[in-house]
Amino acid sequence: MAGWLIDNGFNFLPQIVAGLAGLFALVAILARRAWALVIAAALVVALTTGLVLTKRDLVSAPGGEGGGVRVMTANLLFSNRDTAAVAAALRSLKPDLVAVQERDRFWVGALGDLLADDYRLVSESASGTTALYGKTAVPICATPTFRSSVPDRVAAGCVEIDGRPTLVLAVHAPRPTRPLEGAERTATFIRYRALIAEAGLLAIVAGDHNASPLSPAFRRYLGETGLSLPREPGLWFAATWPSRLPQIGIRIDHVLTTPGLSTRFVATGPQIGSNHLPLTVDVGVR
């Protein structure tokens, strides 16, 4: 229970520290207490320094010029029916690979219509709720045969990036709303690691991880797999959830890459009718 609370608390650590700093600043103003202002300032400095150093440790090498593929991940949300917004996002960002989660029967048909002219289904998960689509111009290679069981919300495919076979996992990790689900999410990360190790290829893992870069479980997963996040401007990683309040939200949707691949952040958003914002990243071979 304690581990689950700590792990989930770390997801929102910047919001917690910023809230405490605001509270001490309010005390300083209302009660005219200099010590409260000092604490507020110290919290802001510590938060800023911590985010900058942590972000530096988690990101990959920047992307090179030309080549590569543009990868988008989007949790569509089962109850969402805004096909026009999804179509607009695809038109504006022009991804080469699209990893989708929470794909129900409606979205199977809708995506079939939206993507019919330019994309093909590369892979879908055993549950059918996670899928990977690719532009017809993107070369597809044979997906490795895994000895490990593939989680039922993972769609595994293989594409060539700059002539290099690359494993692509479209994923949707369990949401850790209760302690047992937190353990299930950690176990799912371990299964992703096993698939990457078995494939022995360059790898991209794109999808809803239900964990922010500050989650201890997520950071262990990155360290054990060698995966890293894309470089992007700003103090911290732009939020993808909740979509209506990204200013106070967190990044739980990720495009992660193994060493040997370089990345460049493109965008979070636009709104697609889901409670998640899509995330788009350019990926190339170093």
Mind spelling out the 3-state secondary structure of 189-238? HHHHHHHHHHHCCEEEEEEECCCCCCCHHHHHHHHHHCCEECCCCCCCCC
Helix H or strand E encompassing 70: strand 69-75
Q: Could you report the average pLDDT of every consecutive run of 10 residues in the chain (286 residues)?
A: 66 90 93 92 94 91 69 98 98 98 97 93 97 96 93 97 96 84 88 96 97 94 95 94 94 96 94 98 92
pLDDT score recorded for residue 60: 79
- Based on DSSP, count helices (H) and strands (E) in the chain, helices before strands: 7, 10
* pLDDT value of position 94: 97
- Give pLDDT, residue 11: 86
Q: What is the pLDDT of residue 117?
A: 86
Nearest 5°: phi and psi at 146?
Answer: -100, 135
Residue whose tokens read 């890459």? 257
Strands 131-135 and 154-161: unpaired
User: pTM value?
Assistant: 0.93
* Structural element, H or E, at residue 268: strand 261-268
List, in order, residues 6 or more apart from 177 with CB less than 8 Å away.
Answer: none
* In contact, 266 and 97? CB cutoff 8 Å: no
Would you say the C-alpha torsion 59, 61, 65, 70 has a positive or negative sign?
A: negative
Which whole-number Å values give the CA distances from 62 to 151, 224, 234, 263, in the listed order? 30, 21, 15, 5
* 122 burial type by CB count under 10 A (0-12 exposed, 13-18 middle, 19+ buried): buried
Q: Are 120 and 97 in contact (CB under 8 A)?
A: no
Looking at residue 141, what is its pLDDT? 96
Amino acid 116: pLDDT: 87
What letter does residue 275 receive in the DSSP assignment? S
